[in-house]
Structure 1
């Protein structure tokens, strides 16, 4: 190979390296833009975060267990007093 062809290949290699670097930079910029837009959309949808959901779920479970325990205590007290239990309004 002569010097001219070697220089052409060197320049072509530099051009390809620069193009690859530019493509990677554009890819990162695009990913950042998409992530930013998705976060904005999700924030506008007023969605609850997983941690908040799990905390509310745990509180509801605890309240349900406490309610069941209190209902059992009331039923036991009514039984001791000879009071007929009231009909459950949730069973229709």
Structure 2
């Protein structure tokens, strides 16, 4: 009976070592994958969120100004048309 317990103890130690090794490999693989993805993203020359938000705000402002100018042009054209019909 003592022999079986010793075999089971040895098997448990081997299994525990294997789990530790797999956990270590997982951590290494995660680190390597993370570094690889960061390198790929760095090479892609992507914009940051702050840069994107700044350009988006500029586009919204430009669109608003364009809409105001379009309304002003339409009003001026209407005035011109009215002035032409009065003559």
- Same fold at TM > 0.5: yes
> Which digits, 9 at most, give the CA deviation of each residue in 1:36-86, with x for residues without a partner?
110111110101234432432232122111111023223324543x28xxx
Query: Taking structure 2 as the reference length, what is the TM-score of the superposition?
Result: 0.75
Once the two structures are superposed, the pairs formed by residues 70-89 of structure 1 within 5 Å of their partners are 70-80=69-79, 82=80
Greater helix proportion: 2
Query: Taking structure 1 as the reference length, what is the TM-score of the superposition?
Result: 0.72
* Bigger RCO of structures 1 and 2 (CA < 8 A, at least 6 apart): 1
Mapped partners of 2:26, 2:7: distance in 1: 28
Aligned positions, number: 81
Matching residue of 1:32: 31
Once the two structures are superposed, the pairs formed by residues 35-54 of structure 1 within 5 Å of their partners are 35-54=34-53
Show structure 2 runs of 5+ residues with no match: 82-87
Mapped partners of 1:78, 1:56: distance in 2: 32
Cα RMSD over matched residues? 2.0
